[in-house]
């Protein structure tokens, strides 16, 4: 709506200015009838070329003229505006264009009407700054030859100028006043002899004279489906399993950093793309590990991004996640797979085994059991003592041992006579059955299934564990939010390379690393040789998910083709297949429920206990001896032997 108003205003202004100048310029600009015919020709021809497979309605055509328009230009514009059924934007490169960032659509066609050769650069530079700028659009240039110029040379000159600004799809209309005809020239950027290099030859598409079009040749595909071995330069950042390290260096190419890569999902993908398009694949890489580099909002870049921004490569691959800045400076392909950003921490160790025998019950159960044991032991002893007419020892030790023996399901020699005693014994035996069976079955399962320490598996655990954390610098900004836990993570975040971080998590076990899940799982396989060393948070505790893309340079003309190839490869399930192939070990390696043979480790608690008890009884025995000798020297009455006999039985009963 807005652009239309502007256009109408502009047209009006132009017509007025042209009308004003017409009288004075009538003689110099030549005959206006001829100009009208030319305009018709240009209109017909451009309508022919603008249409490209898809319907054109709705796409914008930007027409560039200058404001001191000649009769021809005004007529042209008038005719075009009258005849074309799509939206037209008219620009004048003499004036600054107003801020138009509200206009999101990209131009599909450009038409540049030149009065002088030198105008071309200025016009392109103006279009270049508009938000509608799209070098993949078709560009038609209209120029009227003067008497000394050669049509073909002029066309080549224009085409090369357009090529410099990445406008490859160019058609040049040359009007020669001698022949009174419009000739359209174009070129093939990719041919047997050219791989997008400078134009050195053109061919004629049509000639238009007296409103009649004569077609000399049909337009060849600018980016043919067979690229005839033109190079596809790719810069790979090694990031397993997307790009596995290169096998050897290549010396035969024009790049001193090209290598032979064999494995990796993205290596497979670019290889397939190069096969589909018949391009020769060159894969470059850097000696520096993880050399993605970074790209700033102002266009300064380092590492691989710097190489891409300077356009000495077509693609950068290696698990690339698109950010806003990246989207500003480069053109990503469609995402072909998903990956997740998550925390990976050391996998929880097997819990210590010495306390296997104790940890079976909670402490309260133990306390209650031993409390019952002591109380029942004392009660039994009281009853036993009374029933045996107080002929037995007053010490309850033996009775306690008997009670314990019942608890463990062995026998006892109480010989109860009173009903109370018998009922109590019966009750105790029933209790013992339960306890004994519970203990035994729990112990059995504890011995068979390894126990683990508590696994850090959420962000809260992570913060509580106070483990050092970090990852690649670019992920730090994710925690830059106003929220207590993020603030902690942001403050503690330690910048390190991915490889270093994952190694610290897996081998030194003292680091939590922010990592792509797939890369982490692959590294875990590699470092642990099948034995899992790290634990990545479950999907529900991911930081985020992202689509993995290949990154092409800005306005890479083959991007649409590549996208189509990637889509069909992905629809055919090849990408899933590659992903599975690389993770083949996980299936067999993890979750193997082997039953470990019991080792002394598992039974350490029992051995420790018996050792402790032996020591205790030896100490008591020695103390008794000492006490005995002291007593003897004082020659007092002694009941020691009874006591000693019972104490010695203690370990045996156990």
Ligand X SMILES: *[C@@H]1O[C@H](CO)[C@@H](O)[C@H](O)[C@H]1NC(C)=O
Cβ neighbours of residue 568 closer than 8 Å, sequence gap 6 or more: none
Q: Summarize as ranges the residues that interact with ligand X (CB under 6 A).
A: 99, 101-102, 117, 146-149, 226, 228-229, 256-257, 278, 296, 298, 300, 468, 481, 483-486, 492, 494
Closest approach, Cβ 426 to ligand X, in A, equals 58
In whole angstroms, give the CA distance from residue 598 to residue 594.
Answer: 12
Q: In this complex, which beta carbon is closest to ligand X, that of residue 28 or of residue 599?
A: 28
Q: In this complex, which beta carbon is closest to ligand X, that of residue 404 or of residue 511?
A: 511
Closest approach, Cβ 47 to ligand X, in A, equals 29
Residues 315/552, Cβ–Cβ less than 8 Å: yes
Q: Give the pairing type, strands 469-471 and 203-209.
A: unpaired
Closest approach, Cβ 303 to ligand X, in A, equals 14
Instruction: Using alpha carbons, select from 155, 159, 175 the residue that is nearest to residue 70.
Output: 175
- Tell me how many degrees the CA angle 237-238-239 measures, rounded to the nearest 5: 105
Q: In this complex, which beta carbon is closest to ligand X, that of residue 340 or of residue 387?
A: 340
Q: In this complex, which beta carbon is closest to ligand X, that of residue 252 or of residue 298?
A: 298
Q: Give the pairing type, strands 248-249 and 493-495.
A: unpaired
Closest approach, Cβ 285 to ligand X, in A, equals 10
Closest approach, Cβ 229 to ligand X, in A, equals 3
Half-sphere exposure of 246 (CA within 13 A, CB side): 18
Q: In this complex, which beta carbon is closest to ligand X, that of residue 44 or of residue 554?
A: 554
Closest approach, Cβ 300 to ligand X, in A, equals 4
CB atoms under 10 Å from CB of 31, counted, come to 12
Q: In this complex, which beta carbon is closest to ligand X, that of residue 286 or of residue 335?
A: 286
In whole angstroms, give the CA distance from residue 51 to residue 48.
Answer: 6
Instruction: Give 120's DSSP letter.
Output: H
Instruction: Using alpha carbons, select from 471, 472, 469, 493 the residue that is nearest to residue 481.
Output: 493
Q: In this complex, which beta carbon is closest to ligand X, that of residue 219 or of residue 302?
A: 302
Tokens linked to 146: 């003067």
Closest approach, Cβ 256 to ligand X, in A, equals 4
Q: 3-class DSSP state for residue 316?
A: strand
DSSP string, 579-620: HHHHTHHHHHHTT--PPPPP-TTTTHHHHHHHHHHHHHHHHH
Q: Which residue is nearest to ligand X (CB)?
A: 229
Q: In this complex, which beta carbon is closest to ligand X, that of residue 275 or of residue 350?
A: 275
Closest approach, Cβ 541 to ligand X, in A, equals 9
Backbone torsions φ then ψ of 307, nearest 5 degrees? -65, -35
């Amino acid at each position: 709506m807005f652009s239309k108003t502007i256009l109408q205003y502009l047209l009006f202004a132009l017509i007025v200015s042209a009308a004003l100048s017409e009288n004075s310029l009538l003689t110099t600009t030549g005959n206006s009838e001829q100009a009208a015919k030319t305009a018709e020709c240009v209109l017909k021809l451009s309508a022919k070329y603008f249409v490209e497979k898809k319907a054109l309605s709705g796409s914008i055509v930007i027409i560039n003229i200058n404001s001191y328009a000649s009769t021809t230009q005004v007529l042209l514009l008038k005719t075009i505006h009258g005849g074309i059924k799509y939206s037209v934007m008219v620009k004048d490169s003499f004036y600054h264009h107003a801020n138009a960032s509200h206009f999101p659509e990209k131009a599909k066609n450009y038409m540049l009407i030149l009065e002088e050769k030198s105008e071309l650069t200025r016009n392109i530079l103006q279009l270049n700054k508009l938000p509608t700028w799209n070098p993949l659009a078709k560009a038609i240039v209209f120029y009227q030859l003067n008497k000394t110029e050669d049509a073909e040379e002029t066309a080549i000159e224009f085409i090369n100028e357009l090529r410099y600004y990445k406008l490859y799809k160019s058609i040049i209309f040359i009007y020669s006043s001698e022949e009174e005809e419009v000739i359209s020239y174009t070129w093939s950027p990719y041919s047997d002899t050219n791989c997008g290099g400078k134009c050195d030859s053109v061919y004629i598409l049509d000639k238009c004279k007296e409103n009649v079009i004569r077609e000399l040749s049909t337009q060849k595909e600018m980016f043919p489906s067979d690229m005839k071995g033109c190079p596809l330069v790719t810069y790979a950042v090694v990031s397993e399993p997307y790009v596995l390290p290169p096998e050897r260096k290549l010396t035969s190419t024009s790049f001193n950093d090209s290598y032979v890569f064999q494995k990796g999902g993205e290596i497979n993908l670019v290889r397939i793309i190069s096969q589909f398009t018949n391009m020769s694949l060159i894969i470059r890489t850097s000696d520096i590990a993880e050399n993605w580099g970074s790209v700033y909002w102002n266009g300064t870049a380092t590492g691989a991004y710097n190489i891409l921004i300077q356009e000495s490569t077509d693609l950068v691959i290696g698990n690339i996640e698109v950010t806003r800045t990246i989207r500003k400076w480069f053109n990503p392909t469609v995402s072909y797979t998903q990956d997740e950003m998550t925390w990976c921490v050391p996998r929880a160790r097997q819990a210590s085994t010495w306390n296997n025998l104790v940890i079976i019950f909670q402490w309260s159960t133990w306390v209650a059991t031993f409390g019952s044991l002591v109380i029942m032991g004392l009660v039994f002893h009281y009853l036993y003592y009374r029933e045996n007419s107080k002929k037995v020892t007053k010490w309850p030790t033996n009775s306690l041992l008997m009670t314990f023996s019942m608890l463990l399901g062995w026998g006892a020699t109480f010989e109860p006579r009173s009903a109370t005693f018998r009922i109590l014994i019966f009750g105790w035996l029933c209790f013992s059955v339960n306890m004994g069976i519970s203990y035994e079955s729990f112990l059995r399962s504890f011995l068979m299934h390894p126990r683990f320490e508590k696994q850090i598996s959420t962000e809260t655990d992570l913060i509580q564990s106070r483990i050092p954390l970090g990852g690649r610098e670019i992920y730090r900004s994710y925690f830059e939010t106003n929220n207590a836990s993020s603030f902690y993570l942001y403050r503690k975040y330690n910048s390190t390379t991915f490889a270093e971080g994952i190694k610290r998590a897996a081998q030194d076990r003292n680091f939590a690393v922010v990592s792509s899940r797939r890369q982490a799982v692959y590294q875990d396989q590699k470092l642990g040789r099948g034995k899992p060393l790290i634990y990545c948070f479950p999907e529900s505790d991911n930081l985020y998910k992202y689509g993995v893309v290949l990154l092409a340079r800005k306005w890479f003309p083959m991007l649409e083709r590549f996208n189509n190839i990637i889509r069909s490869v992905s629809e055919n399930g090849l990408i899933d297949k590659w992903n599975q192939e690389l993770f083949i070990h996980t299936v067999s390696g993890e979750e193997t429920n082997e039953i470990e043979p019991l080792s002394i480790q598992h039974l350490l608690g029992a051995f420790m206990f018996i050792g402790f008890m032996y020591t205790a009884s030896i100490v008591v025995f020695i103390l008794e001896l000492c006490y005995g000798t002291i007593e003897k020297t004082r020659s007092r009455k002694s009941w020691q032997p009874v006591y000693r006999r019972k104490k010695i039985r203690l370990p045996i009963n156990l």
